[in-house]
Amino acid sequence: MQMTDIPFGTTDWPTIPATEHTGDTGMAYWRTQNFGTIRVRMVEYTPGYLADHWCVKGHILFCMEGELLTELEDGRTFTLKPGQSYQVADNAEPHRSSTQIGAKLFVVD
């Protein structure tokens, strides 16, 4: 990833409007900032959330609160708790997220 043409700045995340994204079950709320080709998000999943698709987008994802279960299309699963992260490249391994108790994440993609 090459980061260019991004002047120093700060983001006050609570002031960024949230957009709603419906899962198979539950909701995701995204607060999104774009810096050139880099998207940065604060994502909050409600308890019982299950993604409605297999994602092939690459991410660096950091779990801030709650617990996130990430399932890979090949059947492997990974659980993130606060202070843990994962990273995956574009088109590397299709994945989807779910949470029983809810989760708050910081995502760069």
* 1 located within any domain: no
Read off the CATH number of the domain in which 41 is found: 2.60.120.10
* 6 located within any domain: no
Segment 13-26, tens digit of pLDDT: 999 999 999 999 99
Question: What is this structure's pTM?
Answer: 0.92
Beta strand spans in 3-102 (E): 18-22, 27-35, 38-45, 49-50, 59-66, 68-72, 77-80, 85-88, 95-99
| Cβ–Cβ under 8 Å, residues 30 and 42 | yes
Torsion of CA 5, 43, 50, 66, to 10 degrees: 130
Segment 63-90, tens digit of pLDDT: 999 999 999 999 999 999 999 999 999 9
Q: How crowded is the C-beta side of 59, counted as CA atoms within 13 Å?
A: 21
Q: State which residues form the domain around 49.
A: 18-108
